[in-house]
Amino acid sequence: MRVFQIEGDWGMDRLRLSQRPEPQAGPGQVLVRMKASSLNYRDLVVPERGYGSFTGNLPLIPVSDGVGVVCEVGPGVRRVAVGDRVCPTYFQNWVGGEPDLERLTQSLGGPLDGTMADVMCLSEQGVVKVPKHLSDAEAATLPCAALTAWSALCTLGSVKAGDRVLIQGCGGVALFALQFARLLGAHVTVITSSEERIQRVLQLGADAAINYRAVPEWAKATRDITQGRGYDLIVELGGEKTLPQSLRCVRPGGTLAMIGILSGSSMATSLGLIITRQVRLQGVTVGHRDGFEAMLRAIDQHKIKPILDRTFDFAELKEAMAYLKSGVQFGKVCIAH
């Protein structure tokens, strides 16, 4: 079968189209013939061994997110059947409950082989059925980006109708967060980098938007939007450069859902604001299978459609990664198998 794998040594130049034997399904396992994958920022880091020893060993098949059809089941499988369309879960061993080291280190696309293969062999506990109204490319976007947004707002953030939510940017997690926040009845502000993107997020239902290039002190600009009250939850995707402003516009007792470090990973801000305003810093690392299935029920009930930007062919993985790295996309970048 076809695979893309990092082989011989780490580095993007060692990512190559190759061949492996098709796997066999053992007890409790399923074979999934993959139909589509989607890219996350993480997939640009893995080839460079950016997560150290947690990245895994070579050869390694990259990319965390995808969807396929169950083509074979091993003895004892009960959760799914041949013909079911499923997504692999990002954390293969985290079904529910609190995170621990073992649950958080068994992730697809490093250290476990990812979705850039014709066929994957997975535990039946590590797949979920996906809604019928979604295309393969749309379904492929759900395991990381969608679940991260759902965990931030619903599982951990407990956002409710009338809450005020601020979302940073127009990446995959951000656009899912916008869709879910609207579903929950929240008032949503998006900060983004251009007037064109402002118009697009307003069309998607954002209540307010700020161009952070035109208004570098965007935290001040949010005061009129929230009538000085501040935000109940901020989907914090920037990290080092955005965190100080987020702390100035979150309400006392509010939550910063810490997801991304796109502008840097250091913490250079006043800790006093966190303490005196009793702000909660909540790290969000994707989520568990129970949360995934709850999210899928909401997506199915309300027929939510992920926002896609562009779909590349299987052999164009490197081109797709370069496109993602450029930052020009609005929505998810996908791979057709």
Is residue 291 scored above 60 in pLDDT? yes
Please tell me whether residues 243 and 306 are part of one structural domain.
no
Place of tokens 């570098």: 216
- Write down the mean pLDDT value for the chain: 94
> Among the three residues 259, 283, 307, which one is the final residue of a domain in this structure?
283
Please tell me whether residues 6 and 21 are part of one structural domain.
yes
Please tell me whether residues 166 and 274 are part of one structural domain.
yes
Angle between helices 289-302 and 172-183 (to 10 degrees): 60
Read off the pLDDT of residues 163-203 as tens digits, 9 standing for 90 and up. 999 999 899 999 999 999 999 999 999 999 899 999 999 99
User: What share of the chain has pLDDT > 90, as a percent?
Assistant: 89
Assigned domain for 77 exists: yes
- Residue 45 structural domain: 2-144+287-336
Partner residues linked to 336 by β-bridges: 36, 313
Is residue 265 scored above 50 in pLDDT? yes
> Can you tell me the distance from the alpha carbon of 329 to that of 173, in angstroms, rounded to the nearest whole number?
13
Contact (CB, 8 A) for 29 and 123: yes
Assigned domain for 151 exists: no
Find, among 327, 289, 266, 337, the residue nearest to 44 by Cα.
Answer: 327
Is residue 105 scored above 50 in pLDDT? yes
Please tell me whether residues 229 and 292 are part of one structural domain.
no
> Can you tell me the distance from the alpha carbon of 246 to that of 233, in angstroms, rounded to the nearest whole number?
10
pLDDT at 268: 61
Is residue 292 scored above 50 in pLDDT? yes
Assigned domain for 186 exists: yes
| SS3 of residue 142 by DSSP | helix
Is residue 20 scored above 80 in pLDDT? yes
Please tell me whether residues 268 and 293 are part of one structural domain.
no
Q: With bands split at pLDDT 50, 70 and 90, how would you rate the model's confidence at 121? A: very high
> Among the three residues 240, 263, 283, which one is the final residue of a domain in this structure?
283
Provide the CATH number for the domain around residue 124: 3.90.180.10
Please tell me whether residues 9 and 112 are part of one structural domain.
yes
Torsion 251-253-256-257 (CA) sign:
negative
Largest CA distance in the chain: 61
Please tell me whether residues 139 and 26 are part of one structural domain.
yes
Please tell me whether residues 292 and 273 are part of one structural domain.
no
Q: With bands split at pLDDT 50, 70 and 90, how would you rate the model's confidence at 241? A: confident
Assigned domain for 331 exists: yes
Mean pLDDT of 271-295: 91
* Cα→Cα distances 86→136, 195, 308, Å: 10, 38, 19
Provide the CATH number for the domain around residue 254: 3.40.50.720
Is residue 270 scored above 80 in pLDDT? no
| SS3 of residue 213 by DSSP | coil
User: Could you tell me the end-to-end alpha-carbon distance of the chain, in angstroms, rounded to an integer?
Assistant: 12
Mean pLDDT of 255-273: 69
> Among the three residues 263, 283, 303, which one is the final residue of a domain in this structure?
283
Spatial CB neighbours of 56, under 8 Å, sequence gap ≥ 6? 46, 110, 111, 112
pLDDT at 264: 44
Is residue 266 scored above 80 in pLDDT? no
Read off the pLDDT of residues 310-324 as tens digits, 9 standing for 90 and up. 999 999 999 999 999
> Can you tell me the distance from the alpha carbon of 218 to that of 114, in angstroms, rounded to the nearest whole number?
38
CA quadruple 205, 208, 212, 217: dihedral, nearest 10: -160
pLDDT at 237: 86
Is residue 262 scored above 60 in pLDDT? no
Please tell me whether residues 279 and 220 are part of one structural domain.
yes
Helices (H), 46-145: 101-104, 136-139
Lowest-pLDDT range, 21-35, 225-239, 297-311? 225-239
- Tokens, residue 62: 């990259």
Residue 335 exposure: Cα atoms within 13 Å on the Cβ side: 30
Place of tokens 């951990």: 156
Assigned domain for 149 exists: no
Assigned domain for 238 exists: yes
Please tell me whether residues 15 and 106 are part of one structural domain.
yes
**What single letter denotes the amino acid at residue 58?**
L
Q: With bands split at pLDDT 50, 70 and 90, how would you rate the model's confidence at 271? A: confident
User: What share of the chain has pLDDT > 70, as a percent?
Assistant: 96
Is residue 98 scored above 60 in pLDDT? yes
Lowest-pLDDT range, 64-73, 213-222, 256-265? 256-265
Please tell me whether residues 240 and 308 are part of one structural domain.
no
Contact (CB, 8 A) for 269 and 243: yes
Burial state string for 4-20 with b = 16 or more CB within 10 A and e = fewer than 16: bbbeeebeeebbeeeee
Please tell me whether residues 301 and 275 are part of one structural domain.
no
Assigned domain for 152 exists: no
For the chain, what is the domain count?
A: 2
Assigned domain for 35 exists: yes
Q: With bands split at pLDDT 50, 70 and 90, how would you rate the model's confidence at 216? A: very high
